Structure 1
């Protein structure tokens, strides 16, 4: 309540008005609720057939790319968490490429 309460020190109020000249949030008392935000999310719809196919293609390409990365580049020291084992590299590639391809899935337009 030091910044927005009913009893603000004059030097604090001057600084607030200097930094925020349009701020009118003064005079609040205890248990007064103002400026609450409400955030809502729309329920995500299930993936349609096209979205599943696009994502699946991305996963398959990623699996292949992840394995090829392990085979061609890999990890010389054996301490790399992802590229030290073919399974890790393959699964990571599939996951990342699947997510990447899923970015290109478009939602059907709503009918008015």
Structure 2
């Protein structure tokens, strides 16, 4: 698999965000309707907790600065870049993993993370 250049990712993200159409929305809604995340451990929000793999982050010290101070499967002690981006864009506070067992329809519609740690292996 060839390495993807950073500018390609930026172009893809821009195309997704700026192609929101002319749908009429109340002013309280964000201009961006959803966020979809693809990647590796740098943006994995917990998908690896639900699959059979050696790469997991469901133990301490992961999650010590996250809401509830519990490990969530994020390879971070707190929120990830997609979480901050979703907050800045006023979509949601954090991006849940797609494989989360009790994922609501609203969470799916407003965006999820398909990222999985160890994806390059």
TM-score by length of structure 2 reads 0.22
What TM-score, normalized by structure 1, do the two folds share?
Answer: 0.23
Q: Report which structure shows greater RCO (CA 8 Å, sep ≥6).
A: 2
- The structure with the largest helix share of the pair is 1
Q: Which has the larger radius of gyration?
A: 1
